[in-house]
Structure formats: structure tokens, C-alpha cells
Structure 1
Amino acid sequence: MASFGRLSNSMLSATIENTLALVNINFDFSVFRVDPSQDLPAGLLFHQLLPNTPQLLNSYGKRTSEILARPDINPEGTESDGPFQGFIGADCTSVCAAATCGPASVGVSLLASMLSRAWDSKEAISIWSELVEERQRQIRAQIQANEIVHPHTKAAANRKMARSELAEWDASARSWLRRADLFMEFNHQQLRLIADNLTIPYSTGGSTFEKVTTAWINSMEVMEKLLCNHPQEACDRAVLLAVSSWHLYPDLLVFQQEAKKIVFKDSLVPSAGVLSLGLEYKGPSKNMTKWSLALSHLRYYGDPVSVSSHEDHSRNVSYANFDLAVDWCRDLHAVLASASAAADFPELSWILKLCSAPADVDDINQSTRLIKYGWRRGTKLLGNAEMAMHSPYFGLLNPHVIDAMKGATDVDCGISYLRGMASHASIGNRQGIISHSGILDQTIAYTEWATTTPVEAAMWQWAGHSCLEEVTSKSTPKHIRWICLHGKEKDISHLELLKRRGREISNGGEICYLADEDDLPKFVKRDDFEWSHPPFIFHRASEELSIVPLYRLRVNPFSLEELYEYSGGSGAIRASQGLPKTELSAQKGSSVPASIGYSYVWLMSLRVLEVAEELYKQLPKATISLRLLEQDLLKAKWLPLSIRSILDDNNPMDSFISATRATASHFLKGMSRADAFACIAMFESGQFNIDPEQLNEVIALCCEDSIFVAGMLLSDPSAKSQGAHIRHLVGNIGHSGMVLLVSPLEPRIRPLKHDAQLVEHQPYDGKCDNRFRGTSLHLSFTTWKMALDWHNTGEIDQEIFLLESVVAVQDNGNWIADIDVIEIEKGGTDVIEQFHCTEECASKALDHSDVVSIDCWEELLDPPPCTGVFRARGNWAARLAVASILAQQGKGHAAVVIGSESICWHCLRALYAEPELHVPQIIIF
């Protein structure tokens, strides 16, 4: 058990009154979990170094009390949380235990918050290890020099602190930060935005101990003066780190191009306590805003490792905000959302999802920062970084693409896009013209010719024959199109169709002329190609095309290579794509061009992202690490089997097309519980890519302030809560790193008692009742803890563990059994959610006099030789417990769980009539 005030396994809830004489700060404790007998030797180690800061400790205690008083930040456990009820709520172990041990321990808690904010867990633990070791060495040196040392300090210097204690101390501080950040979300985000735009450096020089203690002590002194109504100037970036970590927000006076005051209106900070920023430092900003240390306690072997702080990696966002770090494209969303057919095609869901991200933007500054973060860091998320740069956002950042997609028809979209490209490349009407050949009414071939730039009104009559629009002297420049039918014979009905097309063009704001085929340019060479299985964007949703014609112009003196080189920021277009591609043929087995392969990778990555979003819809309060942006989603090991099979296919295009037509919810149904936990581990950490095969026995995942629990552990056994059904709880189990809970290999069950008076098995009276109101589930841990195989490079501290966890069934405080709910899946227990009765059921009410009641646990453990009804109606915990116990005993096949309001004996016997009547021995009702 840790001596840093960590919660004991029983997680006893204790109400501690505010005792100022003991705590010396105004810490208004509400109900929280802590073992008051434990001490904080780190406070005794450092108390002689720390300044006297009564106002800081007082304000920090009040802010902590405010945070704990918010039910949404510090929820209380309920019966629906099952065995995790005692672990629900904000983990205030570090701050509360520190407060009960005195001011110096609170000061140590402040440092823990700073280190947890700036560093990863393993780095923070290494820093703690070095601080403790160096401070103990200093105290021993003082003793040898016959200097006066407080007896408590001397005792702390002689006490060896286990690294596990330091890890648990850091884990508690890290969990607390996440809850406090949520409480002060607006101020926290505003301060972060300001800090990101300042070049104030961290102090340099000295050892790790000197750097950390100097930053810590200086920050406490500055904050104390601010709280005493004295303005201060911050020349060390550690002060900003302290403000963010301690959640006390003084007003800021920021000096950049001009002086600007940022008002936080924090009720705990006096109005005159203003912090000035940006007054002196004018040097380079590169690497100066990172806290650099050399850690000698990070690895088992080798020289001290130089590391830099990375506050960005500690930033977690909701899944909805994570979409912002991937794309924005408001205009594109407006275009796609207006197309009624788009909703009917799952293959468009990826782009609709990305484009819907900015629709609910409330905080423009925060959203802009997330977008820029994704722009900088998200080059790997959707595939190979080099491949991604050829066509960022699939070419959708190209304004010509966005503008073209507003066209009424696909032809209009294509012509609009080419006009935008021609304008960008300064290709005028004398140097280029746009041609399109198509079909009217599915049978009539025709051609359109279009100008690349608008034409002055004076040139309209010169440019054509039969204009479909009246020309006036005040007409503005417009585009012109010529349309004509193919062939010499022209039926009147065909001409009417052509005129109808001309009116559509005119209604779009262009001048349209009807032309003869003899008037078409003869010097233009046209190459024809075909694209097999084109994307849906190239034809209307109602069409059933498998081949689309592609036409290419060779216009002198400009070559297509020059046109594409002029495309600039188009992104999706490259010069090499302008060359004739004869491989785009209708022949089966033709090779897939590289550009199509790129789209395949990107679209599959986005489909994977959609699947993860479907999973996170069950977890609305869960957050995602922004570090995930640096991962390649298609290399994730948790991908559903149906997606993995496509990625492993040597010729995946046909499978890929099928995948795009399937919904994300379809793929989610194919995910196992292990897949879901592996996905959450990756998204929660931003880095762990765990093989789901290692997680088959995991029942819960715990990390900082989040507990992700297999749905079947918190549900009635009749509910559909298997597979990827996961629940998210706010809480902490007191262990560092990411912890995966697994049940013991052979959970124990209470042996039978030799007392005939304990078992009655009374005849079943047909009543619905709950005879197990005193039954409850409780969670505890054994000492078995194993690091999961991960990419470790010799670091001392592991980041992810398997922890043996015991879910105990108790009845009025008496232990009944330890259960493993996963055994229910293996035990073959039947579930009847609802009986589908007919009139025959009421007319043939069957006798059940041979059925007995099971009204206590001893009657279940010593079961009847006939059918017994376990009466626990509405008590999901007791029903789950009995289903697990029977499965562990190998009797799962002899039980059935009834989910309906009553038992229909006629339906029940009909269900179990073949090959002969075999009603289950235990009916869980």
C-alpha cells in the first residue's frame, strides 16, 4: 500500500470535516475517499525549501472544494455502476491527502500537478525519482555537517520511497488535472491559446533538481504575490505552467505588438493581481518554450536521456472536436448536404462526416487551433505521409473544386472546375477551349464547347449563330457555350432536346448558341479513354454506369503538363496525371493507377475513423488524445476482420467498393470486445497499438480519470451487451499508467455448508419477486500485475499493464463467490428476451407444481434436482452473478435467463420440447 495517501483497495468513503487546525488552509472537504492514517513523506523532505505561501494554499483549497462540489465533475457512484461504484468520482487522493498532512505536502501536490501537465507519466516519475534521491542526499550531507535538521525531515531522508509510490502519486495528480481542466474549461483553453502565441522561455542551466525546484518555488512565490494583490511579471514560462496546473487564473497583461489585457474574472484572484507577459524576452522561440531536462532515472542503463516537455500530448478532446483536427470544408458540406441522394449512399458518409465537424463550432479560437494542429501533425493518420502530401484533403482544399461542385449537373461541375483551372493558369479563350461530349435522353449524342473566360457583350453576336438570350448594351461579360448534335440527320424532337439543354445553360447565367457540327474546330485532336468502375462523383446517383468516358484536349501552344503545373494549390492534380493513361481501360484485370491507390488508402482510413466514431457514440464523455494524429490508422491491429481482409487482398478494388457501400455501424457489429478495448487504448493514449488477441479476457480498461467497462459487466444477462458494447465511467482505481483488468483464472465459489436448515426449495408460487435485495458486486485487486508487451526501449517504468481484478458477489456483506462474466459467453446460457404468446397460451395454462423457488444463495449453490426459479426480478446484479456462477460451474447450458415480465410455461415447454422435453434446471427470472 502506497504511503502517498493512495486509496486502499476497499476505497473506503469517509466524510472529513473541515479542520483548520489540522490542515492550516481553508479546504472545504466534501465526501471523498482517503485513508487519513497515511502520510506524505515527500512533504517532509521538501518543506524546508518551500516558501511561506498562505494565500496560495488557501485559494488552492477553495478552488479544489469548488471542483469537488460539481456533480458533473465529481459524480457519485450508483448501483448502476456495479462493482465500480466505490471508484466513481474525481480522484482527489493527492490533493486531499496532501491537505491533511500540512502546507508542505500541499506544496508538493502543486509540483505534482506541474510535472503531470508538462511530462508523460514515465518521464514525470523519473523526475520525481531524481528529486527525491537528490533531496535525500542533501539532507544526509546536512546531518554529516552537524547542521540542524528537523527530526521528521531526517526520518523522511532515511526512508526509501518505492518507485511504485511515486507512480501512484503521479497517476492521482494526472487524473485530478483532467477533472479540474473540465471544471475550468473556458479559462483553461483561453490561457492555452495565449501561451501558444508567446515565446517566454523556461529557465535554463543547472541540474534537473535545480531546474525543477527553481521553477516550482518561483511559481509559488509569484502566485502568492498575485493573490496578495501585487502585480507581477513572468519571465519564466514555468509560471504559465503553474497557472494552468493550479487552476488559479489572474488577469493577464500581454505585451506583443500592443499591450492587451486578458480578463479571466477569477473570483479567487484579486483584480489588482495582474500578471504581465512578454516584456523582455526577444530571442528565438524555437525549442525555448519547451522544458528541457536530462533524466538519469528514465532507463535502466545508459547516459542521462535529454527530454523536452510536450504539453500538447496531454491535450485531450472529445471525438466531435477530434473531427476538427481532420477537416473543415464548410462550403463542401453545404453542397453535399443539399443533395437528397447523398444520404442514401454510405460511400459518401466519410466526407459528410468530415464536413459536418464545423457545423457545431462554438469556440472559433479553439477550433482553429485544432485545425492547425491537425494540419501540422495529421500527415500520417490517413496513410503514408509522402502520399498524403500529393493531394491534401483529397483535393478538396482546391477552391476550384469547391466552386465547381455547386453546378446544377455533373457536366456543369466539370466545366466550372476546368474554367477555374484555366483562370488560375491564365489560359484565355484564344489559347484554350473546353469540350464535352455526352448523351441526351440516353440515346442522342451531342457536344458542348465552352469558353474558359467570360466574353464581353459586344462579342456575343460575333461569337455565334442562334443565341438563346437577348443581348443588351448593359449586359455584363458572360461565358459562352456552343452545343450541337452529332450526325447529319437531325430529328425535330432531337433539336427540342438540344434547345432544352441550351435553356438549362442559359438559366445558369451563360450565353448558349446552337451550332452545326460543320462549325466545330477541325484542328483539335481528341483522345478517348474509359474509366472502369468510376467513383460516384462522376455520374448521377440514379445512373447505373460501370464505365465513364474521359476526354482529353491537346491545345497548342499550351501542353497539358503546363496546365497542371499552373494548378498551384489544387493539390489533387499533378502534371503526371495529365498524360494519356491507356491503362484506364474497360478491360478486366487492368492495373490500378497510383492515384486510385492513394484514394483507396485515404478512403479506407476515413472509413476506419467512422467505425471508431460509432464506437465512441457509446462514450459521449470520453476524450481522445491528439497524439493519435501521428498514427497510421490502417496499421491499427484492432481493425474489424472485414476491413483487415480488404487491406490484405492483393487486388482489393472490388472489395473496397463493397466496403464503401457498407455503413460504419455494419463494421462495428463485426468488432469483438477485445477489438473495442484495443481501439479505446489507441485513442485514449494516442499511441498504444495492441493486438486484440492479448485482450480477450479483459473486462475493463482504466486510464487517468476514465474507466471503460465491458457492457456485460454492468448489464442484465438478458440484455444485448456483448461484442463492442462498452460503458465509460468517470473514476480512477489508483494505479498508474493504462491498466487492463482481467479476472483470475479460476474464480472461487463458496463451498457448501453442511446444514439442512439452510435449503428449503419451496414450491414456486408463480409470483414475480426479488429475493436478493442484499446482493451486491465489489471490486478488489490482487498483487498480480504484469506489463503488457509494448515498444519499450529500456525505460524503467512501464506504461500499460494487466492487473488481476476480483469481482466479488456479496449478500448482506457475506461473501458468496468471485465471478468472471466472460464465462457467460462460453457457458451456452440461453436468453429469452420476450415470449411471443398466442391465444393458445392463455387457454392452455400448464401446471408448474414440479417447479421450486430459489430464494437464497445457499439454495442456488445446492441446487434442486428439478427445475428451480431464481427470483431476482429487476435485480441485474444478482441475475448477472447467478449466470456467471452457473457458467463457472459448467452449468451454463442448464440455465435460461428470462427477460420478459412473466413466464409463459406453455411457450417455455414448447421451446424445449425437442428432441424431448428438457426445461432448463435453473430459470433466472
Structure 2
Amino acid sequence: MNTPSISAALVSGKQETNLAGLATINFDFSLVKVEPPLEYRGLGACLSKDRREVAENGLQHVTARKLGALFRSALPEVVYLVKAYGARVSEIAESPTSNSGSKRDNGAFADFVGADGTSIWAAATSGRDAILAHLLACMLARMWSHQEATSIWHELVEARRKILQTEASDPVALAASQATLTRAQLADWDASARSWLQVADAAKFRSQKQLMLIIQEFGLVVNTKKNLYDSVLDAWAQALGVVNRLVQGIPQNVQSGAILLGLASWHLYPNILALGSSSNQVVEQKDSLLPDGGLLTLGVKSASPTLPEGIFWSLPLAYLRYYGNAVTITKAVSDNHGYGSMKDLALIALGCLFPDRAFEERTFLTVARLVSLLESQFVKLQAVKQEGSTRPCPDWLQFLSQAANELLSARKDDAKTMLKRVSFGSRRCERFLSRSSVSSYPFSVLWQTEIYFQLLGTVELKIEFLRKIASRLVGKGSDQQMIIAYRSSPGDPLSLATAFPIASEAAAKEETNPATREEAQHCRWLGGPPGHLPLMSEQFSVIDTSKALVSCPSALAWVGAPKPFTCNSKLGDEEDYKRYFTSPTRWSQHDGSFLPSAHSEDFMSLFLEVMERYVPLDTVEDDFAIVEELPGIAIFHPFLATLLQQHYIPVDTSQLCSLIDTGEVLDGKQLRSIQCLAIASAIYDQMPGARVNLDVTQHTIHTCRWVGSGRILPYRTWMSSEISRRKAFACITWFETGSIDLSPTDLAQAMALSIGNSLFIAAALLRDPSDDSAQATVTRVNGNIGKAGFAILIPPPDPLSKTVGHESFNVINHAPYDGNFQDSFEHTSMHLSLTDYSIPFATEHKSFRDVEAYFQEAVISVFDRSEWVADLDVLKSLASIKHYRTESKGSKHSSAECGLYNPFDEASTNLTSVDTWAELIDRPLGAAVVRARGNWVGRLAAACLSVQRNHETLVLPSTVSCWTWPAKSNELFDYILSAVQTKKPITFIM
């Protein structure tokens, strides 16, 4: 039935032709359905039974019908767009990324898993006008937050109703203006479209990314209309018309952001010629749904530096809050609409470590190399099995190094995008890692001479290190000289060493005879009697350390100089990283003669005990431009990344790892913050596809309630406690919402979270009850419960179960167990349903009209075919002290041994078989065995129901397929036999 015939059917009956009479008719929009267009049927086939029911007969269908009727006369005819969009959504729904395993794998949540195309199917079964309403929902969801989009819908509908009540001549539209559309319905309409965008973005990842890159090069406004109704309707109609023509193959030249917003929201990708872009060439997107003739030409991008990147739109929102004037909000379309991955957050965290005033791309890349190399030292330590090689790399360093490695290995275009994240962290997110206004560079402690010299281990390595630095400071061909002052051990006299080899006296006289010319050598002046000389190729002499050997100009004095060099002790004004000595200077040689300097340049001291500040070294390739107050002793030039990478000096790996492991290389608050991020990253690693709300970067992470106030433990330790699941849920809550910070105790009853296109489910609900690892993890699947906002699913307090009356005696056998392993519960299924109990919560009051987060009561029910058996509180049952798990995971005996041993091959009246739900509910008095081999749903349901009915329960490992292995496991087998012999009332789950 098409739309005109529906309209005729609605107004037929009594001959009431005046519009006033028609306006009083209470149409039931849920009774009207149309045959969906052919292109949309692929989507319908992919929806779960429950989603199709809601779309065809539930509130979503009513909302779609009413919105279509309200706006049917205000929008252009876009037949080609409607067809193309149907083909696209069917393609996306059928893609592997849109689904999350088989229905059986998803247990009780199966009806809520998969792409949420509810609003699309509701629109497709409601007519062409409803499909256009869905397209607007996608546009608003792409640009605005859930609360903002719902407010826009609310104001748009109210404005449209007023217009129709005074101007409408269409009976259906007039009737729609009288119908009620609640804010909750509009919120659910937006939520479904918002969830769909996530599904479609993932399925069309490459094409969407390319389109977003083009969009972000332009600063285009959607429109500048001040009235919300006029602005939204204009953007909607304009996008519909232009994209419809593109689908027809008609080229379009536009300068409006509305068209790009439509394309980004509807996942249609025409070829684009972006005038004024970096390439200024046609970007071929090769979308099979758009002919080559449909070329979109974008006008010259705005040169105004005040305009944000991408598409932006300002609207006054009068329905956002309960109290106050309309709030004008400007939003821009950005990549992922304020969401990112944990990898994105790691890049932002790296940027947060840098003070904004000192951030430079070259500087950051050097530190990124340093982070990567520090992590590699732990790998090196374990590879060579040095002392302490069992020490793992700290979680926080692994977290940072993964981000650094990904950036360093990225392609140029990808690296450019990544560096934007880093820069954002440095500029805008100082609160995130508690960066103070006087924070120095990350890992700057490693640049302190006192620290780094400890890592070098021996005096000779330290001298070699300083010589390497000297070679970088002085250019080739220079005749400058530097002197290194050192002590072999504390308390020893001061000794000197040359930084560069110097020529002998003959060489100094420019001896040209090759036979008599000597090679340049390093020289040593030992403070005291000659001791062990590890470098025998060097010339050495003994000096009297009681005398001042050199003087230096007053403008460049040495602060804290060793005793022989004390002279004019004040900080110099220029080139503070070098200390000059007067010339000529005579150095004592091993033969008692003196060697004058072979040049007129001043000699320089390389060893510095105290540096009051760093200064720029612009002549060095990988230097830092730092002016920073630093306490203590510091190396004046931070070559650490280069030294580690090129193996200039062999640092003591074990000492380096020990230093890093203590966490002293970072500020205390920053370290704690990154430790928190490392834990969150480990949790998110278990949940592919999960997103992070980047609003978290505007809050302080280390003070979050989900973290707790104690010491941050490694992830494995942190997650190994009994409350690991609630900790994970609290962590996910904060990162998904960007602001809601709950204590793990607030989520003690939570069994799942629903937001956007994500269901975060306690893994124990989707696993065999013998799987111990499931309790410490949370699993994410595509899907949601079909309601707006952030929902925390909790079970009812007292789950019900079926009662077995006397009339059931004929189906209860309680036969003696014959020793066979079988599945008698193959028709068992579990299903989730929502009750009407829903209670909102808020961590702060913002006066918003929409509930941001709430606890939603949800019931997990067990069915045998279509017959209800019981409702379960699965997590409570699994945590019950009456529920036992065996330590071993199963047998390793040969197939030839399998089934050879059966202690129950003769009829045993002491162990009873349970092969039906009635037999479990009305269980025998003694020991019983529930036979559900290989059926994790049946085993989970039976175990929970048994515990719920206060029966002592033992779950055999899922891998046990015969009695041969339990017989070899004496402890378990003895326990089973003892229970059987003593007629202990225990239930074994097989």
C-alpha cells in the first residue's frame, strides 16, 4: 500500500470533510505499515526478531510515521537518494564488521546484538517521508551530542506542529500535528540513528576516513540562519536535493557545509574536486552507488583563521535545559565526533607530558624515540638474561612505547594526523595528567649527569661518553680542545683527560716527515701516583692537584668548579655549556716536558658539576631548545635517545631498568595518571571496537573514583581481585561517557552496560561456568538495548522460577545415572528482557532535560523451547559460596583410553540423572548429575538455577567427556565417589 492509499484509508469511513473535524481524529499511526522498498530488505533480514518487532509494531514505528507525516510537505522528492541509501544500509548491515558472532555465542543478549537498524527499518516500513526523517536524524547525530540533538528534534517538532495547525491542508499532516511525540520517543529515535552511524563508520572505514580528511581541510558553515527551525529545515532540504542529484550523476558545485554533512552522515561517497585543497585534484572514491558524472566540486576554502576546521553549525537550543534562556552552541564535524580509540588517547597522553610553551614536533619525535628505546631496554635485559631479567617492563612504559612506535613507523599522512593528537594533548589537556605550569620535559631526570653517569657504570665509560659529546660540539677540522676533569672514585685526587687526541711536540711544530710524525693521542694527567691505566694507548702524566693549573676569563666562570679550577666563580652570560680556559696553556707530559697549545683558541672544560639552566644548542640536529630551571646536576646536552639508539656508550641495562621500574623518571602525579591509562588500555585491549570519549582529557584521571586512592598496581594484579569486574565496568563508564565517575562499589550488581552501538557484558554471562578467566573480564559486542542514554543493567532482587506441582509427576523420572555423557538440554536458551524499573543517577547536576545515565532492571530468563523455566541472577550465583569450580581444565588421556573406565556402568541408586528442568527443580534427595555435555548455555543455566535453589553445586570442567580423566584425578574422583556413597545432596553439572 503506498502513501496516498494509506491517506485515503485513514480519512475514509464517515463523510467528515471539514478539516476541523479531521483534526480531532485520533489516528493510530502504529496500525499503518507499508511494504519497504526492495533496496532495504537486506537490512531487514539482518535485524534480530526483537528489533524487527519494535521497528514494525513498536514505538519506533509510531515515531517514524508521525515524523514522516509532519514533514512530508516540507521536503523535496528524492527518489534516487532513497534507493541509493537503501542499497548502502543493506550493504553495511550484511558486512562482517556489523555482526558479533552467532546467536548462540551471545547467550541471553542475542536479541540485542548486531547492527541497530531499528529506526531505518521503522522508516522503511512507514513510507518515503519517514526515511527522510531518519536521514535528518543521522545528520543531527553526526554533528550534535545526544542531548543537543534530542533538544533540536523537540523544538523542530513543536515548531512544525504550530505551522501545520494554522496552515495545513493535508488531512494526514493536520492529524499528525495533533498527535503526541514524547521527548523520550525522540531521544530513542536519535539513539538508534547515532548507533547506526557507529556501525556504518566501521563498515566503511576507509571511504569515511578519506571523506573526513577532505572535510577537515575546509571551514564551511552549514548555514547562518538564526532561527532553529529555519536553519535545520534549510540544511535538511538542501542536503537532500544536492545528494539526490549526485546520485543521478548530475555534477554539483557547492560551498555549503550542509551537503558535506549529509554525505558524511549517509555514507555516500561521490568523486570530489576540492578547490583550494592541498592536492587540488579530483579525489576518486569509486562508490558503486554514484555514477562518475556525479562530481562534487567544493568552492575555495575559507582563509579565515578564526573558523574551525571542517563543517560547523551554530544553533540556539531553547529546549536543552529546564531553566534558563536558549543556549547558542557551535559544533563542528570532526573525525569520530569527539570519540577516538585508546591509541588516540595514548598519543594525547604523550603530548600532555610536554609543556605547551616548549612543544615542537622535532622535540617530541626525539622523546618518542627515547620512550621506544627505554622499553626496548627491558626486552634486551630479558634477552640476555642478566640479573633481574625476570623484571617485566612496567605497564605504563609499554603503554607509552606502543603509541610512540606506532607514530614513528606511520606513513607521512597518518603521522600528520597522529601529531595533531599529540599537539592537542600539549595545548589543551594539561589537567588530564596533572601537568603543572612548571613541568619540565618528560624523562628529564635521565639527562641529569648524576643519574646518567650512574647508568654508565665505570669511569672509563663516562669519559668515553663525554668524548662522544665533545665530538658533536666541535666541528671537523677545528683545533679547539676540551678537557675532562674526573675522579676515579670518591675521595681520589682530581685527574684530567683530553676530549680529543692531541698531537705530540713534533706534530705541534708541523713536522712534515712521515717517518718522524706521530699519530695524535689522548692525554691523561693523573692526580696522584699512577694506578690502573685501562687505556694504555694514552699518554699520561702526574699533576699536583694542590695548584690551580688554569685560569678562565671572568665572563665565563665555572660555578662549583673542582678545587684546581676555582677562579671567578660566577655564572657566565653566554654559551653556558662550554667553559673556556686562557691561552696559551701548558700541559705536563709523561716525559716531564711541557706541551704548549698548538693554536691560539681557548681550551674548553667539558665536565660540569652544576648547571643552573639548559640553553639552546641550535647547531645540533636532535637537540632540545630548553630554558628550564632544573635542580641538581645535569648533562648540558640531551643526547640520550641518540646514544641509546646508536649504541655510542653501553649503559648498564639492569640499572637503567631498575631506575625506570621505580617510576622516578616521571613526576609522581604524571606517573600515577599514566599507570591509570595503562590499566584502562589493558581493559580495552579485550574489547575490540570500543571507543573512548575524548572529553576525559578535560578531567584529571589519577583522582578518579574508579582508580581508587591506593597505590596503582600492575594490571594483572589490579584485575585479579574479586572485584575486578566492577572495576572494569567503572573504568569503562568513565571512558565511554567522558565524565561519569563511579566507584566500583556503585556497580556491584552491574551485569552489562549499554551505550551507542556497544554492549559491555560481564564475560561470565557468555561463557561456560567452569571458565574461571571469564569473571575477570568484560566482553564488548555490537548492539544496545534500544534505549537512549547510558544504561547500567542490573538484575531483579529476587528472581522467580517455575514451580513443579503434583501434576508433573509423570515427567519426572529421576533415573539412576548410567555413566554416560550426553546433552539433555539442547533446547535450552537464555533471553534478556527489560522491566519498567529504571532509575536515573547523576554525579553532578546540570539541569538537562534528558537523563544521561540510569540503572535499568533487566531479567535473564531460561526457556526450554518456548516454555519459561526460571529467571536468573547469574553473577550472584557464580559468586555464591555454594558454587565450586575444579582447578584442572580437563583430561589429556589418549582417545584409545576414552570411555574405557566407567564407575557407573552398573545401575547406581545413589547417583541420579537429571535430564529435564522439572527434574532439577524437583531434584532428588541425594547426589544428582545434570547432563548437558558440550552445551555451555545449558550448563550455565543449570548451575545458576541449582545454586539459586540453595543446592550445593559442583561444575565439572567443560573438557571432560568421559570418566577416564576424573578417575586419574584422585582428589576430584574421591570427592565424587564420597558424595555418591554418602548420598550427599549435591548437584554435579556435567
Give the drift of 1:870: 1.0
**TM-score, normalised on structure 1?**
0.78
Partner of 1:695: 747
Q: Which moved more, 1:600-609 or 1:442-451?
A: 442-451
Letter in 2 for 1:618: Q
Which residue of the other structure, out of 405, 414, 420, is the alignment partner of 1:372? Answer: 420
Partner of 1:674: 726
Give the drift of 1:699: 0.5
| d(CA) in 2 for partners of 1:181, 1:734 | 19
Partner of 1:314: 337
Partner of 1:716: 768
Letter in 2 for 1:332: L
Secondary structure of 1:634 counterpart: coil
The aligned runs of 1:276-675 (5 Å cut-off) are: 276-279=297-300, 281-286=302-307, 289-312=311-334, 314-327=337-350, 331-332=369-370, 335-336=373-374, 339=377, 340-342=379-381, 344=389, 345-346=391-392, 349-357=395-403, 359-360=405-406, 364-377=412-425, 380=429, 383=432, 385-387=434-436, 390-395=439-444, 411=462, 415=466, 435-437=485-487, 449=497, 451=499, 460-461=503-504, 488-491=528-531, 494-495=532-533, 497-499=534-536, 514=540, 516-518=542-544, 521=549, 563-566=613-616, 570=624, 574-577=628-631, 599-639=667-707, 644-646=709-711, 663-670=714-721, 672-675=724-727
Give the drift of 1:282: 4.2
Partner of 2:605: none
State whether structure 2 residue 876 is matched by structure 1 residue 823. yes
| d(CA) in 1 for partners of 2:696, 2:394 | 24
Conserved? CA contact 1:76–1:88, under 8 Å: no
Cα 1:835/1:265, change in 2 over 3 Å: closer
Alpha-carbon deviations, 1:147-183, whole Å to 9, x = none?
x2x1211111111101111111111101110111112
Cα 1:56/1:686, change in 2 over 3 Å: same
Give the drift of 1:275: 1.8
| d(CA) in 2 for partners of 1:190, 1:738 | 30
Conserved? CA contact 1:377–1:630, under 8 Å: no
Cα 1:514/1:197, change in 2 over 3 Å: farther
Alpha-carbon deviations, 1:471-493, whole Å to 9, x = none?
999999x9x9765655x3334xx
| d(CA) in 1 for partners of 2:195, 2:892 | 55
Which residue of the other structure, out of 268, 291, 295, is the alignment partner of 1:270? Answer: 291
Give the drift of 1:283: 4.0
Cα 1:768/1:489, change in 2 over 3 Å: same
| d(CA) in 1 for partners of 2:200, 2:381 | 42
Give the drift of 1:827: 3.8
Conserved? CA contact 1:215–1:238, under 8 Å: yes
- Aligned pairs, number: 812
| d(CA) in 2 for partners of 1:60, 1:362 | 34
Give the drift of 1:566: 4.0
Letter in 1 for 2:529: E
Give the drift of 1:286: 3.1
Cα 1:557/1:729, change in 2 over 3 Å: closer
Conserved? CA contact 2:482–2:498, under 8 Å: no
Secondary structure of 2:760 counterpart: strand
| d(CA) in 2 for partners of 1:693, 1:803 | 17
Alignment RMSD (CA, Å): 4.4
Letter in 2 for 1:29: G
| d(CA) in 2 for partners of 1:706, 1:333 | 33
Partner of 1:655: none
Give the drift of 1:737: 1.4
Partner of 2:257: 237
Runs (5+) with no aligned partner, structure 1: 1-19, 504-511, 530-552, 581-594, 647-658
| d(CA) in 2 for partners of 1:152, 1:211 | 25
State whether structure 2 residue 825 is matched by structure 1 residue 772. yes
**TM-score, normalised on structure 2?**
0.73
Partner of 1:907: 971
Identity, % of aligned pairs?
Answer: 27
| d(CA) in 2 for partners of 1:416, 1:73 | 60
Runs (5+) with no aligned partner, structure 2: 1-32, 351-364, 383-388, 552-556, 563-568, 577-609, 635-662, 894-898
Give the drift of 1:276: 2.0
Alpha-carbon deviations, 1:68-99, whole Å to 9, x = none?
22123245642111011122211111222212
Cα 1:475/1:726, change in 2 over 3 Å: farther
Secondary structure of 2:806 counterpart: coil
Secondary structure of 1:745 counterpart: coil
Partner of 1:108: 133
| d(CA) in 1 for partners of 2:803, 2:685 | 43
Letter in 2 for 1:295: L
Give the drift of 1:720: 0.8
| d(CA) in 2 for partners of 1:471, 1:518 | 35
Letter in 2 for 1:921: I
Which residue of the other structure, out of 890, 896, 913, is the alignment partner of 1:853? Answer: 913
Letter in 1 for 2:915: D
Conserved? CA contact 2:616–2:627, under 8 Å: no
Partner of 1:86: 111
| d(CA) in 2 for partners of 1:306, 1:82 | 45
| d(CA) in 2 for partners of 1:396, 1:625 | 33
Secondary structure of 1:292 counterpart: strand
| d(CA) in 2 for partners of 1:463, 1:28 | 95
Letter in 1 for 2:321: R
Give the drift of 1:861: 0.7
Conserved? CA contact 2:115–2:783, under 8 Å: yes
| d(CA) in 1 for partners of 2:488, 2:221 | 64
Letter in 1 for 2:226: G
State whether structure 2 residue 151 is matched by structure 1 residue 99. no
The aligned runs of 1:152-167 (5 Å cut-off) are: 152-167=172-187
Give the drift of 1:374: 3.4
Conserved? CA contact 1:701–1:741, under 8 Å: yes
Alpha-carbon deviations, 1:581-638, whole Å to 9, x = none?
xxxxxxxxxxxxxx96962222222222222222122212323233333332212222
Cα 1:482/1:196, change in 2 over 3 Å: farther
Cα 1:565/1:247, change in 2 over 3 Å: same
Secondary structure of 1:273 counterpart: coil
Letter in 2 for 1:664: Y
Conserved? CA contact 1:749–1:816, under 8 Å: yes
Secondary structure of 2:190 counterpart: helix
Alpha-carbon deviations, 1:391-423, whole Å to 9, x = none?
34445999x99x999999973796489769978
Conserved? CA contact 1:614–1:665, under 8 Å: no
| d(CA) in 2 for partners of 1:318, 1:481 | 55
Give the drift of 1:231: 2.3
Letter in 2 for 1:27: Y
Which residue of the other structure, out of 783, 786, 799, is the alignment partner of 1:747? Answer: 799
Give the drift of 1:224: 1.9
State whether structure 2 residue 989 is matched by structure 1 residue 924. yes
State whether structure 2 residue 942 is matched by structure 1 residue 878. no
The aligned runs of 1:5-154 (5 Å cut-off) are: 22-23=35-36, 26-30=39-43, 31=45, 32=47, 33-35=51-53, 36-37=56-57, 38-39=61-62, 40=64, 41-75=66-100, 77-143=102-168, 148=169, 150-154=170-174
Which residue of the other structure, out of 189, 197, 211, is the alignment partner of 2:209? Answer: 189
Give the drift of 1:27: 3.1
| d(CA) in 2 for partners of 1:712, 1:118 | 37
Letter in 2 for 1:672: S
Cα 1:49/1:89, change in 2 over 3 Å: same
Q: Which moved more, 1:193-202 or 1:863-872?
A: 193-202
Partner of 1:762: 815
Cα 1:391/1:838, change in 2 over 3 Å: closer
